[in-house]
């Protein structure tokens, strides 16, 4: 494992009043002889904390055992608000692509996965990308485009009728208005060059309504964008790998099969 600080020195927008934290990621390079896909992981935590032991490290273990590389991102949370977490997510993808050869990664096969609020950040990484910035260092000039996105029981929408209010408040900060919320609701941000989506949720999630998943999937399919949607009948919020939840515990295997199909792993 490599501990990689996202920026040399202070991250953009660093505020010492919020403490001395600098965003970083823990990288698990690919172990095979050929360049492998890499999954960049955004654990949840309502943009108030980062749930590493439930939605970070176990997911890294899942994908690395499958032969992929992985990176668990320790992104900024409240009192930081937008754009800090999005900048962290974009920088993480840029860094993986920039260091692709060193870390055994295929730069054309980088995806993200996120849970709850991390699922929202996963969607932001999927929809707020560029092919490199005109200014900054060599990593900034590297594309942050991804090819797969997997928001899991995610706060995909900030619509007050279906969102998790605390997540929305922490992400938007002082600009927590309905107009601003709509601008950062995934269903309103879709673009024709969006990556393929894998979405799963449980019907009984009491914290983030399943309507978030349904709305995003509906918006994707209306635009004829690639989407797989799995809704499991039971399960609380924050399941992670869902190892003790019947039916929902099938999602990791389904996700790996989907990744293999997206990345043509069986053809290698």
Model-wide pTM > 0.85: yes
68: left (phi over 0), alpha (psi -120 to 50) or beta: beta
Q: Note the pLDDT tens digit of each residue in 140-186.
A: 999 999 999 999 999 999 999 999 999 999 999 999 999 999 999 99
Q: Note the pLDDT tens digit of each residue in 49-107.
A: 999 999 999 999 999 999 999 999 999 999 999 999 999 999 999 999 999 999 999 99
Range 35-262 classified under CATH 1.10.1060.10: no
Using 50, 70 and 90 to split pLDDT, how confident is the model at 264?
A: confident
Q: Can you tell me the mean pLDDT for 106-120?
A: 98
pLDDT of residue 265: 83
- Please tell me the distance from the alpha carbon of residue 73 to that of residue 57, in angstroms, as a whole number: 10
pLDDT of residue 32: 84
Using 50, 70 and 90 to split pLDDT, how confident is the model at 4?
A: very high
- Helices 57-65 & 251-262, crossing angle to 10 degrees? 50
Asked whether the predicted pLDDT for residue 136 surpasses 70, the reply is: yes
pLDDT of residue 266: 67
Q: Note the pLDDT tens digit of each residue in 203-250.
A: 999 999 999 999 999 999 999 999 999 999 999 999 999 999 999 999
Asked whether the predicted pLDDT for residue 267 surpasses 80, the reply is: no
Please say whether the beta carbons of 71 and 96 come within 8 A. Answer: yes
Using 50, 70 and 90 to split pLDDT, how confident is the model at 33?
A: confident
């Amino acid at each position: 494992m490599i501990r990689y600080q996202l920026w040399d020195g202070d991250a953009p927008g660093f505020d010492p009043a919020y403490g001395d934290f600098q965003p970083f990621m823990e990288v698990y390079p690919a172990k095979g002889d050929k360049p492998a896909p890499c999954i960049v992981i955004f654990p949840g935590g309502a943009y108030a904390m980062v749930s590493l032991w439930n939605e970070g490290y176990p997911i890294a273990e899942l994908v690395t055992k499958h032969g992929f590389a992985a990176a668990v991102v320790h992104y900024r949370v409240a009192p930081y608000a937008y754009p800090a977490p999005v900048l962290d997510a974009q920088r993480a993808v840029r860094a993986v692509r920039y260091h692709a050869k060193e870390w055994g990664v295929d730069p054309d096969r980088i995806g993200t996965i996120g849970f709850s609020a991390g699922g929202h950040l996963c969607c932001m990484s999927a929809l707020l990308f560029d092919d490199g910035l005109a200014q900054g260092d060599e990593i900034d000039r590297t594309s942050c485009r991804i090819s797969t996105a997997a928001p899991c029981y995610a706060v995909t929408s900030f619509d007050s009728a279906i969102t998790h209010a605390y997540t929305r408040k922490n992400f938007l900060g002082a600009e927590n208005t309905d107009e601003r919320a709509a601008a950062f609701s995934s269903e309103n941000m879709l673009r024709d060059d969006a990556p393929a989506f894998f979405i799963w949720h449980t019907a009984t999630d009491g914290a983030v309504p399943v309507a978030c998943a349904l709305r995003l999937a509906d918006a994707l399919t209306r635009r004829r964008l690639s989407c797989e949607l799995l809704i499991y009948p039971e399960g609380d919020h924050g399941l992670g790998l869902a190892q003790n939840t019947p039916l929902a515990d099938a999602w990791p295997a389904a996700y790996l099969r989907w990744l293999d199909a997206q990345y043509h792993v069986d053809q290698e």
